[in-house]
């Protein structure tokens, strides 16, 4: 299996380990498989532990790689917590058989980003050990959850250090703590700006040949193909398990910001997994729904919302999505996207807690808002799965005043909140980042 740039042809092809360590292609494009392999559904186990599903699902992507013999160990390390699929019941105990929730917040930092970050950390560590490389510097721009997951995954990993770039004042207090409580090989930098400034700085660093070579830079954002591969696993597992039990496919509603999680679902669908419709739920940052509606890609400055991890005005993975499924006209035939306001997010959090007794994070609430506003016949004639991307306890200052009660904090998150935090604040300048390195 070779990996090529979204902007080039086969002449840009590299091995998986080179694509992972480089992050982006030399022409500025994003790495994708030279040919997306169809999934061998007869080999992928049903109702099996998620690491066993990952092993069979991801084997084709590792074919011919120096990591082939390490894949099983990588999957065991990365997928050591569950992604349960639950049907919810209302206050009267009535179950909605047409709706399930995929809980992706049972990892170390209580967000779906833990899957990709842990897989990437395990993979990069194997590569560095095998090659005997000098220390690698992993750069991650985050709008909230990615940086914490990456920091947790790489903390004290030999041969690595991590630079976390996050927008000052644009993440929740508990998110910020998870970005800044590590020390050791983790450098945390609050950027005076928005997420798009952080993402721009990361891209400028990689484009700076002198800095890239000097610091052996690698990316841990969803621009890295090593982040997307593991995220496709939970979509494959849940769709296969549900089909085996009920004899039909599932539709998915995925909250999205930088489009990595949603693109992983699109990848799984394209490979032949039993996934029906894909709907993207965005916050007030409307770049994606506007593109599907108007046909013109217009990235813009991000808007601060309650669903802060989705505050992205120029989603990087749109480049991969268009490469996979075409321009707006073709995309609009394959998926839909809906924008949700802060007011609707607040109301949905309150309503879901009142009717079902469950507190959802603002990001998951965007997906619930989209689902509840679908025509009733759409909701009743298919099975829908909502991706719950983070635990509500990470957004206590938003959710608790709305529902009027404290949210129990997951044990691992509670442990992290006891650690002291430390970070520097910088101007959105590449020179400032380099000076910290």
Active site residues: 113
Cα–Cα distance measured from residue 152 to residue 98, given in angstroms and rounded to the nearest whole number: 36
Cα-only R_g, the chain: 20
Q: Residue 186 in contact with residue 161, Cβ under 8 Å?
A: yes
Q: 149 vs 227, 294, 297, CA distance in Å?
A: 11, 35, 30
Tell me the sheet residues that pair with 118: none
Other beta carbons less than 10 A from residue 55's beta carbon: 23
Mapping DSSP to helix (H, G, I), strand (E, B) and coil, where does residue 19 land? helix
Residue 179: both structure tokens together:
């970005």
Q: 204 vs 212, 217, 219, 421, 433, CA distance in Å?
A: 10, 11, 12, 27, 10
Pairing relation of β-strands 31-33 and 3-5? antiparallel
Show contacts of 428-432: CB within 8 Å, 24+ apart. Answer: 428/191, 428/192, 428/193, 428/197, 428/198, 428/200, 428/201, 429/201, 430/201, 430/204, 430/205, 430/208, 430/211
Cα–Cα distance measured from residue 379 to residue 187, given in angstroms and rounded to the nearest whole number: 46
Q: Is 110 exposed, middle or buried (0-12, 13-18, 19+ CB in 10 A)?
A: buried
Pairing relation of β-strands 335-339 and 275-282? parallel
Q: Residue 435 in contact with residue 426, Cβ under 8 Å?
A: no
Tell me the sheet residues that pair with 111: 390
Torsion of CA 31, 230, 167, 398, to 10 degrees: 150
Residue 268: both structure tokens together:
């799984």
Q: Residue 237 in contact with residue 204, Cβ under 8 Å?
A: no
Q: 386 vs 34, 138, 281, CA distance in Å?
A: 31, 31, 10
How many whole angstroms from its chain centre is CA 114? Answer: 8
């Amino acid at each position: 299996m070779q990996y090529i740039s979204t902007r080039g042809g086969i002449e840009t092809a590299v091995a998986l380990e080179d694509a992972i360590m480089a992050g982006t292609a030399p022409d500025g494009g994003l790495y994708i498989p030279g040919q997306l392999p169809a999934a061998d559904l007869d080999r992928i186990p049903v109702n099996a532990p998620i690491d066993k599903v990952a092993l069979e699902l991801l084997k084709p992507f590792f074919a011919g790689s120096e990591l082939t013999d390490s894949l099983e160990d990588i999957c065991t390390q990365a997928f050591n917590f569950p992604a349960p699929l639950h049907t919810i019941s209302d206050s009267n105990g009535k179950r909605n058989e047409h709706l399930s929730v995929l809980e992706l917040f049972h990892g170390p930092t209580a967000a779906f980003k833990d899957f990709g970050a842990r897989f990437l950390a395990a993979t990069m560590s194997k590569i560095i050990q095998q090659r005997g490389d000098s220390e690698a510097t992993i750069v991650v721009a985050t709008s909230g959850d990615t940086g914490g997951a990456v920091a947790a995954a790489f903390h004290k990993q030999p041969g690595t250090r991590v630079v976390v770039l996050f927008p000052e004042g644009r993440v929740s207090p508990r998110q910020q703590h998870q970005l800044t409580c590590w020390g050791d090989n983790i450098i945390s930098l609050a950027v005076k700006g928005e997420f798009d400034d952080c993402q721009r700085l990361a891209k400028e660093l990689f484009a700076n040949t002198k800095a890239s070579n000097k610091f052996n830079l690698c990316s841990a954002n969803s621009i890295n193909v090593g982040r997307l591969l593991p995220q496709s696993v939970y979509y494959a597992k849940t769709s296969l398990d549900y089909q085996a039990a009920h004899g039909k496919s599932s539709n998915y509603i995925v909250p999205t910001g930088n489009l990595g999680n949603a693109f992983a679902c699109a990848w799984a669908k394209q490979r032949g997994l039993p996934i029906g419709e894909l709907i993207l739920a965005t916050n007030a940052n409307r770049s994606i729904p506007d593109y599907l509606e108007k046909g013109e890609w217009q990235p813009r400055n991000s808007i601060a919302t309650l669903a802060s991890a989705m505050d992205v005005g120029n989603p990087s993975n749109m480049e991969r999505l268009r490469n996979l499924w075409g321009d707006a006209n073709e995309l609009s035939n394959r998926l839909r996207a809906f924008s949700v306001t802060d007011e609707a997010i607040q109301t949905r959090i309150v309503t879901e807690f009142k009717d079902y007794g469950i507190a959802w994070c603002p990001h998951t609430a965007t997906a619930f808002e989209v689902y509840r506003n679908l025509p009733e016949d759409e909701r009743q004639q298919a099975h829908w799965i909502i991706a719950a991307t983070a635990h509500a306890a990470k957004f206590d200052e938003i959710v608790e005043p709305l529902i009027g009660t404290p949210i129990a904090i997951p044990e691992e998150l509670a442990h992290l909140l006891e650690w002291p935090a430390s970070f520097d604040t910088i101007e959105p300048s590449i020179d400032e980042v380099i000076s910290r390195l």
